[in-house]
Amino acid sequence: MKRTMKLFCVISVIAVLGYFGFLHMEIQESIRQQIPEIADYLMILGARVKGSVPSLSLQYRIDKAAEYLSANKHTVVIVSGGKGPGEDISEAKAMQQGLIAQGIEEARIMMEDKSTTTHENIVFSKELIPDTATSGLIVSNDFHIYRAVEIAKKEGLDMKGLPAKTPKVSLLKSYTREYLAITKYYLTGLIGR
């Protein structure tokens, strides 16, 4: 009986590690996709704001978007994220302020400030996509791109990811949480909810 339990535990651990390895490969593949040189719009997904200061994860998203927008003057941007606990301003407002501080004109920035999940980010932002826009990029940290693009597909949007780096201090936590979020999608089909 003991040997059977031991064997079961070993097989379970190997299966879980193999599954996480598979998810990690999916994530890595999604961030290696070719990025369109000129997209019509960007959609930056929200992340935590500490008071009125973007978290490092969110700052990396702002910086990556600002870099792309500076090189592509006709691309517009949708900043997406509501106001959560411990946030004095919405995530969208923090992103708007961060982009303007880096020289992006306010007229190019559209705000979606009601969403509280990745799924809502995309669903609510979809309403703001210009009618003439055909190509879009989702901006998020690299660990989050795979799931975000999958949600967009489910919502009828053909988007690629523009990955920002993930802070080293939160790599393990971010990837572990993302493996669980992707698993929830696989199990329920309700990605991001």
What is the overall mean pLDDT for the chain?
Answer: 91
Confidence at 189, pLDDT banded by 50, 70, 90? low
**pLDDT at residue 192 is higher than 50:** no
Backbone angles phi, psi at 158, to 5 degrees: -95, 95
Using the predicted structure, report yes or no on whether residue 190 has a pLDDT greater than 70.
no
- Name the CATH architecture for the domain at 2-188: 3-Layer(aba) Sandwich (3.40)
Interatomic CA distance for residues 44 and 183, integer angstroms: 23
Give the Cα separation of 188 and 193 in Å (integer). Answer: 10
pLDDT for 184 beyond 70:
yes
Average pLDDT over residues 36-53: 94
Give how far Cα 30 sits from Cα of 34, 155, 162, Å.
Answer: 9, 18, 10
- List, for residues 99-130, the tens digit of each pLDDT value: 999 999 999 999 999 999 999 999 999 999 99
Instruction: Write down the domain spans for the chain.
Output: 2-188
120-124 contact pairs (CB < 8 A, 24+)? 120/82, 120/192, 121/43, 121/45, 121/46, 121/80, 121/81, 121/148, 121/192, 122/43, 122/45, 122/80, 122/148, 122/151, 122/152, 122/155, 122/157, 122/192, 123/155, 124/80
Radius of gyration of the chain (CA): 18
d(CA 83, CA 116): 8
Going by pLDDT thresholds of 50, 70 and 90, the confidence category of residue 191 is very low
Region 61-84 average pLDDT: 97
Which of 126-140, 156-170, 173-187 is predicted least confidently? 173-187
What mean pLDDT comes out for the span 134-146?
95
